[in-house]
Structure 1
Amino acid sequence: MAFYKKSFQSFDTIYLGGGTPSLLSIQQIDDILKSANDHFNIDRQTEITVEVNPGDGSAEYFQQLRKRGINRLNIG
């Protein structure tokens, strides 16, 4: 992310997709989002999407995503 910091200062959208990111632990999602916040201006209006397979997560997992600012799921 540090490499792209020179080219991009902020984002309207963050998309975690491809390869079923819903298999990531909540801690791994936290680490990705923390790194994004450390390198770029990410505000509360940013759309943050995670691609999910409904069979990969529990209701608690999806609630934890929401608590971390994930505001859109791409279910497929």
Structure 2
Amino acid sequence: MSKYIGLMFCLLISGCASTTDQKTASNNDEDLVCEYIAKTGSQIKRRTCMSRDLADQLRKENEADMREAWRKGQTSAGTQ
């Protein structure tokens, strides 16, 4: 889980440091996937954009991690 937080942090930092102008970014819009994501425990959503390939990779890794956690019984669903 912490590797995903680190990856998202790196993406946000690199996005802030980019020097591309708006014209260049608008030409690549079909390759970008943008989502509004709220941090855990927050109601404030922030826009996060990433390439379609990276979004697919993160989705697959998240699904695999959830399956692994479920298999090991590490989820809090149904436990008391």
Structure holding more helix per residue: 2
Name which structure has the greater RCO, CA cutoff 8 Å, separation 6+.
Answer: 1
Same fold at TM > 0.5: no
Larger radius of gyration: 2
